[in-house]
Chains A and B, each alone.
Chain A
Amino acid sequence: AQSVTQLGSHVSVSEGALVLLRCNYSSSVPPYLFWYVQYPNQGLQLLLKYTSAATLVKGINGFEAEFKKSETSFHLTKPSAHMSDAAEYFCAVSEGTSGTYKYIFGTGTRLKVLA
């Protein structure tokens, strides 16, 4: 069975500081991993994805994530936070080889950016 754990339901950073949002997964098969961002009153937007190619994945808006199999992690980072990054972020895992296309989502991390 697959699962996703996002550590920290709320994270606050100062503008210009490093953003680190944590995601750990559990999967019995090679996973595909995703980060989505949700702004208030909007749907989820794909930030980046890992699908068994490069372990360091770059996404939109300056975000990137590194797949670490030994740590079963897929943490999201951004070197310098901007006020516009304030949103909720979701990590998701899909069974990459089963063809089901289903996601299991984490519970989300709300990012607050302080001026």
Chain B
Amino acid sequence: DARVTQTPRHKVTEMGQEVTMRCQPILGHNTVFWYRQTMMQGLELLAYFRNRAPLDDSGMPKDRFSAEMPDATLATLKIQPSEPRDSAVYFCASGGHDSYEQYFGPGTRLTVT
């Protein structure tokens, strides 16, 4: 049963700390998306990659957020320094070649105090 996995599932940290979230896309998928979900803003696309190259990161605050794909099986989203307004659920999704379907992971719930 192929699934997108995300770690950690929950993270509580203090303002100013670095946070790293990890995502393992479904094996063979070549497109990875990062979303943020909050009550106020709903689902926002932060960035996405195809074949490990960033295609669009316009939704991401550049001064503190960074996203990378060190290899085809790992995508990371970093926040440094974290702020209380970054508290949200962060989802990773992956998609396959020539497929418009996105498969979501279970999310990382981030709380910044």
Interface residues of A (CB under 8 A from B): 32, 34, 36, 42-46, 49, 51, 90, 94, 96, 100-103, 105, 107-108
B residues in contact with A49, CB < 8 Å: 100-101
- Of the candidate stretches B14-22, B40-48, B74-82, the one touching chain A is B40-48
- Across the interface, name the chain A residue whose C-beta is closest to B9: A41
CB < 8 Å neighbour of B102 from A42, A100, A103, A107: A103
B residues in contact with A107, CB < 8 Å: 42
Q: How far is the CA of A34 from the CA of B95 in the complex (A)?
A: 14
B residues in contact with A103, CB < 8 Å: 45, 102
B residues in contact with A34, CB < 8 Å: 100-101
Given A101-B48, A103-B45, A105-B43: A94 touches B103 (CB 8 Å cut-off)? no
Interface presence of B107 (CB below 8 A) = yes
Interface size classification for chain B: 20 to 34
- Across the interface, name the chain A residue whose C-beta is closest to B104: A43
B residues in contact with A94, CB < 8 Å: 100
A58 CB, min distance to chain B CBs, angstroms = 15
Most buried by B among A32, A51, A101, A103: A101
B83-113 interface (Cβ within 8 A of A): 91, 93, 95, 100-107
Interface residues of B (CB under 8 A from A): 4, 31, 33, 42-43, 45, 48, 50, 55-56, 91, 93, 95, 100-107
B52 CB, min distance to chain A CBs, angstroms = 15
B residues in contact with A32, CB < 8 Å: 100
Q: How far is the CA of A42 from the CA of B9 in the complex (A)?
A: 10
- Across the interface, name the chain B residue whose C-beta is closest to A51: B100
| Pairwise interchain contact A101-B104, C-beta atoms closer than 8 A | no
Given A105-B43, A107-B42: A44 touches B100 (CB 8 Å cut-off)? no
B12 CB, min distance to chain A CBs, angstroms = 16
Q: How far is the CA of A8 from the CA of B89 in the complex (A)?
A: 23
| Pairwise interchain contact B91-A46, C-beta atoms closer than 8 A | no
| Pairwise interchain contact B42-A101, C-beta atoms closer than 8 A | no
